[in-house]
Amino acid sequence: MRGGPGGRRLSTYAPTGARPVDTQPNEWWRRAVIYQIYPRSFADANGDGVGDLPGITTRLDHLVDLGVDALWLSPFYPSPQADAGYDVADYRGVDPLFGRLEDIDKLISAAKERGLRVIVDLVPNHTSSEHPWFRAALPAGPGSPERNRYVFRAGKGPAGNDPPNDWESNFGGPAWTRVAERDGRPGQWYLHLFDTGQPDLNWDNPEVREEFRAILRFWLDRGVDGFRVDVAHGLVKQADLADWRPPVEPLSGPGTEAAPRPPMWDQDGVHEIYRDWHRVLAEYPGERMMVAEAWVEPVERMAAYARPDEMQQAFNFEYLLAAWTAPAQYAVITRSLEATGAVGAPTTWVLSNHDVIRHASRLGLPLDAPRPRGIGPGDPKPDPVLGLRRARAATLLMLALPGSAYLYQGEELGLPEAMDIPDEYRQDPTWERSGHTVRGRDGCRVPIPWEADAPSYGFGPTDASWLPQPESWAEYALDRQRGVPGSTYEMYRSALRLRRSLGLGQGTLAWQEAPDEVLTFRLGDVLVLTNFGAEPAALPAGTRVLLASGPLEADGRVPTDVTVWAR
Ligand code: NOJ
């Protein structure tokens, strides 16, 4: 070691807006490749071990060289960092940990000079408990306008000693915390679907709605091209706050007709908020956009967030979670395209982010293994060779698909999950709140390696790193891969260059082969083939391979877990 996130018919979700869906089929976000930067782990300019905005600015050329269209910045706002910045104390500032307000202005203009669009994270479901609104709510007492910005309720039982309902926090433990009133006695309880330091806002309160319109305008005025909307499916709760048996997967609800949606997720009322925000963005020139982080299923419910008068995109988490088999991949791709196509939105594709096991490791787990929420020193480990091989194949498949693709920092290096972080270094609130039963997301958040032989692998000028970096990461460093034929970095670069020149990422996909073991489709004159089967697959006669995720057989056939682009 170095250094210290149904079953309803689609018709239920027909577009409600007046604008016909095809009037502007060329907006940049319809086919953009968007690179997620997790600021604390990308580049550290001041050497304190935590990445910062000036660090990002100095490394922007990496994104240009890579060939992406836009970057998405996870939160950099003033925050006590109870949940790595997803607990926002001031929506209009920059945390000193990451720099100053002028640093974000510099970053935005430096990105624009390079032709890169900038998306920022918006966290509207909850504030930090250190936000001035919550600090004012505590002394203001029950029934006050200050408390009405949040979800305060009396407890159950004669003395109110039990939480108002049985909801659980996503990070473990109850979703309610009791406060002491002014007389020092235990009083009301407040709702927090995440950490205690993340009180949920009351979106029935017009003041909350007005404040977020103003926050959108603040960042739109500063030149951002869009917003990634955190917990977009959570803002509106069922009015009666009814009890709920916790779902098996805490970040998503089943949402099927057989199993009704949980009272805290994906309530129909959220959509009015996004129609309102759509109107705010429409006041601005330059194709501004929003992408929903909504862990909902089925995909039709996800697509509802991207109707023409709401957000422009929604993350396709069903795709991220799909099994690495030809039938599963075929099904999720087909259903995703149908669902988003029905509302005139582009499909998004994503394999990794700061909340899930990196796909170079995830895909190395046995196909029937349950999806782990963090991997620790004593846990069963994925097969690293198989994982990277499948990750590369999955990436080439993804980058050909019509729609917008999201990349997570470090995946272009083939970076695996950091699986040996000592438990005492863990910072994800999940670890503590679950009573040390769920390790959480630190393993995908470790600062990324730039230079094999530099302190902190070139993350910063010193050895400092807020999470320890594995010794094995030298071989993944950018300088070890740049210019090296066949390296994961060069595969990403070639893919992004070819995607642009060949017009991939857009158009109509035409399946060529039944999805038992080999997936084959055409997009324009490009043929994309992924072999999931045990035997090598032959390409159609006369095709020329443009790019492959791994070496081909001597006779030109495509081995197991390899994707090729051919013509
Ligand atoms: C989703 C974010 O991606 C995750 O990191 C965060 O913990 C929760 N929302 C709460 O804001």
User: Is 250 inside a domain boundary?
Assistant: yes
Residue 257 has a pLDDT of: 47
Query: Do 52 and 187 fall into the same domain?
Result: no
SS (H, E, C) 397-424: HHHHCCCEEEEECCHHHCCCCCCCCCHH
**What does the pLDDT average to over 2-17?**
34
Instruction: Name the residue at shortest CA distance from atom 10 of ligand 1.
Output: 86
The pLDDT-based confidence of 514 (bands split at 50, 70, 90) is confident
Same domain, 236 and 285: yes
Specify the pLDDT at position 1. Answer: 58
Could you report the per-residue pLDDT of 340-350, keeping only the tens digit for each?
999 999 999 99
Atom of ligand 1 nearest to the CA of 5: 1
State the pLDDT at residue 8. 23
pLDDT in tens, 175-227: 999 999 999 999 999 999 999 999 999 999 999 999 999 999 999 999 999 99
User: Looking at the domain assignment, is residue 198 inside a domain?
Assistant: no
Is the per-residue pLDDT at 132 higher than 70? yes
Dist CA 496 CA 504 (whole Å): 9
**Residue-level pLDDT at 33:** 98
Q: Are 356 and 457 within one domain?
A: yes
Tell which one of 77, 231, 438 to mutate to probe ligand 1, the residue whose CB is within 8 A of the most ligand atoms: 231
In this predicted model, what pLDDT tens digit does every residue of 425-455 receive, in sequence order? 999 999 999 999 999 999 999 999 999 999 9
pLDDT at 259: 62
In a domain, 555, yes or no: yes
How far is 417 from 373, CA to CA, in rounded Å? 12
Q: In this structure, is residue 264 part of a structural domain? A: yes
Ligand 1 binding pocket (C-beta < 6 A) is: 5, 83, 86, 123, 194, 230-231, 293, 354-355
CA distance 258 to 303: 20
**Residue with the nearest Cα to atom 11 of ligand 1?**
86
Q: Quick one: 475 and 331 in the same domain? A: yes
Would you place residue 14 in the very low, low, confident or very high pLDDT band (cuts 50, 70, 90)? very low
Residue range 374-417, pLDDT digits in tens: 999 889 999 999 999 999 999 999 999 999 999 999 999 999 99
pLDDT of residue 3: 59
Residues carrying an active site annotation: 230, 283
Residue 244 has pLDDT above 50, yes or no: yes
- Whole-angstrom distance, CA of residue 411 vs CA of residue 41: 13
- Protein residue with least CA distance to atom 6, ligand 1: 86
Q: What percent of the chain has pLDDT over 90?
A: 90
Contact 292, 233 (CB under 8 A): yes
Segment 112-128, tens digit of pLDDT: 999 999 999 999 999 99
Residues 551 and 459 in one domain: no
Asked whether residue 22 carries a pLDDT value surpassing 50, the answer given is no
Atom of ligand 1 nearest to the CA of 83: 7
pLDDT digits (tens, 9 = 90+) for 323-373: 999 999 999 999 999 999 999 999 999 999 999 999 999 999 998 888 899
Position 498 scores a pLDDT of 98
Distance in Å, CA 121 to ligand 1 centroid: 10
Q: Whose CA is nearest to atom 3 of ligand 1?
A: 355
At 250 the pLDDT is 44
Q: Provide mean pLDDT across the span 493-516.
A: 93
Span from the CA of 296 to the centroid of ligand 1 (angstroms): 15
Question: Domain containing 539: what range?
Answer: 509-566
Q: How many domains does the chain have?
A: 3
Break the chain down into helix, strand, coil percent, rounded to 5.
Answer: 30, 15, 55
Average of per-residue pLDDT across 305-322:
97
pLDDT averaged over every residue in the chain = 93
Question: Considering the domain boundaries, does residue 421 fall inside one?
Answer: yes
- What is the model's pTM? 0.94
Boundary of a domain, candidates 191, 216, 240:
191
Q: Are residues 226 and 328 in the same domain?
A: yes
In a domain, 492, yes or no: no
How far is it, in rounded angstroms, from Cα 191 to Cα 168? 10
Same domain flag for 52 and 89: yes
Query: What's 475's DSSP letter?
Result: G
